[in-house]
Amino acid sequence: MPVKLSKKVCLLGDFAVGKTSLVRRFVHDLFDDKYITTIGVKVSRKTVVVPSASDVVELTMMLWDLAGCAEFDQVRASYLRGTAGAVLVCDVTRPETLDGLRSYVDDLLGVSGDAQFVVVANKIDLIEHQQIAPADVEAVVERWDVPFFLTSAKTGEEVQRLFRHLGRRLLFRG
Amino acid sequence: MNPIVTQLIFEDCEIAYAITDRELVVVEVNGTEDVFDQASVGRSLLDCVPEMVGSEVVLSEILDGFLPRFELAWVNRETPQGRTLYLNMVDLPYRDERGQIVGLLHVVRDVTEAGTLEQRLTQHRNELRLLRDQLARQNLELEAANVELRRLDEMKSIFVSVAAHELRTPLTSVSGFVEVLLDEDLGPLNETQREYLEMAQAGAERLLHITDSLLDVTCIEAGRIELVLQPRDLASLVQAVAAEYAPQVTARAQRLTLHAPPDLPAILCDKTRTVQIVGNLLSNAIKYTPEGGSITISLALAEEAGFVRVAVADTGVGISSEDQPKLFRRFFRAASAVQTRAYGAGLGLFITRSLVELHGGRIWFESEPDHGSTFYVTFPISDSLA
């Protein structure tokens, strides 16, 4: 019998970086180009099977897609309570969204000090508008010693891999 | 409180609640189908409210009396019909008559109406922010392109200036030595020798004129032209220019007439540049007027007060309406220039306009193909007499 576990995973990052689209791609394998702002929090769930040395774990990720705009800074701390993991998202076409990740990490670790997280540079399909190089992301994540992924919620590139990777981190490091 | 009143308040404020025991099993509910129904009773609160998964530690802190309340605002929930509900959730300790915490009170308020409005507002705000950021980025890109263009333009001006200077020195020597030969200081010339030397001299003069024009253009663009403004008698200056060009007028069997009223006030101008302005206009008139044609230079008070106007009219080929708007552009050569094989680099009128404007005057023209052209320039009247 597989071991069943639930973990809370928050998606953090500035508005319009593609957090909702990443969740939608991961959970429903769908994408919609239309930008719809999230206010507050939207919770989805997805179960992934993570093999380990002795067991197979059915990990249900409770995905908390949090509003990215400044208006929700006040309530973000209450959303972050009990977070086991997080996906920090920036948009490769907007350099300021990479710079903004630091404050989200501070918020996350301030509330859940042992949370596992990964960094995601999304929208890599927009090659012509790309303003962030992989080296830029690498330079920023270096200080936290966490992996980063270059994703496209539109094409699905690297989306499954990033969540599965986070799932393994939650089980084996969390 | 009257239970009917309580029920009415709950319904009016769209409030639902669930009461759990200490194991978080729901023991009582009150609410709508969208939030809680009777089927929730007996199930874990975490099953009924997925948003509470991960908050187990917080909930146990409430049960242990360490935390007075826990709130989650603007929780989005999608109904099976695809409608988005916005819910505010508050967890409070539920106490018995003795004040002991025996479970949790989970209160849910449906704030969908306010949430929908808030979502729209935030959406517009974010879209505006995206546009603003995009504009700022485009602005930066344009600024960078502008700086690069200015740098290239500066390099081009330096190159042109250096090249023109380097060309001018040997050209002056060539022209000078040809002149010595033509003056027969070194011995008599036969007809063929004279013809060839005159052709060489004309070519050297044209090249000198072009290098001078290029130097003028680079000076104009760099803002390095300085005028020595003094009160001058315009009629005298124009007469001097007319005298200078008389041999060319005669060579083309043209008739040059000058009308200058005797009481014309002095103008404030740079003498060299004024001669250059009038000379350029007269030179053009000669070039574009067929042999036997006539050219008239008229001086008068301009319509705008404080200015004197010079008009140079010819009976030449005129300028097509297509070429007219481009006439003062750098390096523009009108179709008539090509037709008449008039030499030039297309800089004369650009320089003339720049010099006129530096004086504070203006330049314009009237022209009709095959019916000639008239160019007008104005100069400011000097306050003091020459």
A contacts of B57 (beta carbons < 8 Å)? 81-82
Same domain, B177 and B125: yes
Question: What is the per-residue burial (b if ≥16 Cβ within 10 Å, else e) of B225-250?
Answer: bebebeebbbbebbeebbeebeeebe
Same domain, B144 and B28: no
Residue B15 lies in a domain: yes
Q: Which of A37, A43, A64 sits opposite B123 (nearest CB)?
A: A37
Q: Note the pLDDT tens digit of each residue in A86-115.
A: 999 999 999 999 999 999 999 999 999 999
Whether residue B86 and residue A96 make contact (CB cut-off 8 A), yes or no, is: no
Q: How far does chain B reach from its first CA to its final CA, in angstroms?
A: 106
Closest-CA distance of chain B to residue A7, Å: 6
Same domain, B341 and B358: yes
Q: Which residues fall within 8 angstroms of residue B89, CB to CB, at 6 or more apart?
A: B49, B51, B52, B71, B72, B75, B106, B107, B108, B109
Residues of chain B with pLDDT under 70: 1, 32-34, 338-343, 384-386
What pLDDT is recorded for position B54? 81
Assign a CATH topology to domain A3-172.
Rossmann fold (3.40.50)
**Of B110, B135, B157, the domain-final residue:** B110
Q: Specify the CATH number for the domain of residue B153.
A: 1.10.287
Closest CA to A29 of A117, A157, A126, A164: A157
Task: Report how many Cβ contacts below 8 Å link chain A to chain B.
Answer: 78
CA distance A144 to A163: 18
Sequence ranges of the domains in chain A: 3-172
What pLDDT is recorded for position B1? 65
Task: Count structural domains, chain B.
Answer: 3
Closest-CA distance of chain A to residue B6, Å: 29
Q: Which of B57, B86, B126 sits opposite A69 (nearest CB)?
A: B126
Closest CA to B221 of B158, B268, B147: B158
CB contact residues (below 8 A), chain B span 37-96, against chain A: 50-51, 53-58, 70-77, 86
Same domain, B189 and B242: no
- Looking at chain A, list the stretches that DSSP marks H as alpha helix, in order from N- to C-terminal side: 19-28, 73-80, 95-99, 101-111, 134-141, 159-172
Residues of A at the B interface, defined by Cβ within 8 angstroms: 6-8, 15-16, 35-43, 45, 62, 64, 67, 69, 71-72, 75, 78-79, 81-84, 94, 96, 131
What pLDDT is recorded for position B40? 83
DSSP A18: S
A contacts of B53 (beta carbons < 8 Å)? 6, 8, 62
Closest-CA distance of chain B to residue A33, Å: 14
State the residue range of the domain holding B321: 230-380
**Backbone φ, ψ for residue B318 (5° rounding):** 80, 180
**Of B66, B91, B110, the domain-final residue:** B110
Whether residue A62 and residue B50 make contact (CB cut-off 8 A), yes or no, is: yes
A contacts of B122 (beta carbons < 8 Å)? 37, 39, 67, 69, 71
CA distance B227 to A128: 51
B contacts of A45 (beta carbons < 8 Å)? 50
In chain A, which residue's Cα lies nearest the Cα of B70?
A78
What pLDDT is recorded for position B384? 47
Closest-CA distance of chain A to residue B72, Å: 7
**Backbone φ, ψ for residue B296 (5° rounding):** -125, 130
Closest-CA distance of chain B to residue A82, Å: 5
Distances in Å between the Cα of B196 and the Cα atoms of B171, B179, B181, B191 are 17, 12, 11, 9
CA distance A131 to B93: 50
Residue B386 lies in a domain: no
B contacts of A83 (beta carbons < 8 Å)? 54
Whether residue A39 and residue B53 make contact (CB cut-off 8 A), yes or no, is: no
Closest CA to A66 of A83, A49, A48: A83
Quick one: three-class SS letters along chain B?
Answer: CCHHHHHHHHHHCCEEEEEECCCCEEEEEECCCCCCCHHHCCCEHHHHCHHHCCCHHHHHHHHCCCCCCEEEEEEEEECCCCCEEEEEEEEEEEECCCCCEEEEEEEEEECHHHHHHHHHHHHHHHHHHHHHHHHHHHHHHHHHHHHHHHHHHHHHHHHHHHHHHHHHHHHHHHHHHHHHHHCCCCCCCCHHHHHHHHHHHHHHHHHHHHHHHHHHHHHHHCCCCCCCCEEECHHHHHHHHHHHHHHHHHHCCCEEEEECCCCCCCEEECHHHHHHHHHHHHHHHHHHCCCCCEEEEEEEECCCCCEEEEEEEECCCCCCCCCHHHCCCCCCCCHHHHHCCCCCCCCHHHHHHHHHHHCCCCEEEEECCCCCEEEEEEEEECCCCC
Helix (H, G, I), strand (E, B) or coil at A174: coil
What pLDDT is recorded for position B221? 82
Residue B64 lies in a domain: yes
What pLDDT is recorded for position B64? 95
Closest-CA distance of chain B to residue A161, Å: 23
Q: Is the ipTM of this complex over 0.85?
A: yes
Whether residue B54 and residue A83 make contact (CB cut-off 8 A), yes or no, is: yes
Q: Which of A8, A72, A131 sits opposite B54 (nearest CB)?
A: A8
What size, in residues, is chain B? Answer: 386
Q: What angle do CA B94, B96, B101 make, to 5 degrees?
A: 50
B contacts of A64 (beta carbons < 8 Å)? 54
B contacts of A37 (beta carbons < 8 Å)? 119, 122-123, 126
Whether residue A96 and residue B133 make contact (CB cut-off 8 A), yes or no, is: yes
- Predicted model pTM: 0.65
Residue B70 lies in a domain: yes
Pairs from A93-99 (Cβ < 8 Å, separation ≥ 24): A93/A123, A93/A126, A93/A129, A93/A130, A93/A131, A93/A132, A94/A14, A94/A17, A94/A131, A94/B133, A95/A131, A95/A132, A95/A136, A96/A14, A96/B133, A97/A13, A97/A14, A97/A17, A98/A132, A98/A136, A98/A137, A98/A140, A99/A140
Whether residue A39 and residue B51 make contact (CB cut-off 8 A), yes or no, is: no
Residue B280 lies in a domain: yes
A contacts of B55 (beta carbons < 8 Å)? 8, 81-82
H or E element in which residue A41 lies: strand A41-51
CB–CB of A83/A115 below 8 Å?
Answer: yes
Same domain, B271 and B211: no
Q: Is the model's pLDDT at A123 over the cut of 50?
A: yes
Q: Note the pLDDT tens digit of each residue in B189-206.
A: 999 999 999 999 888 888
**Of B187, B204, B221, the domain-final residue:** B221
B257 touches chain A (CB under 8 A): no
Same domain, B15 and B134: no
Residue B160 lies in a domain: yes
Q: How far does chain A reach from its first CA to its final CA, in angstroms?
A: 22
Same domain, B30 and B157: no
Q: Which of A6, A35, A69 sits opposite B53 (nearest CB)?
A: A6
Residue B385 lies in a domain: no
Whether residue A39 and residue B74 make contact (CB cut-off 8 A), yes or no, is: yes
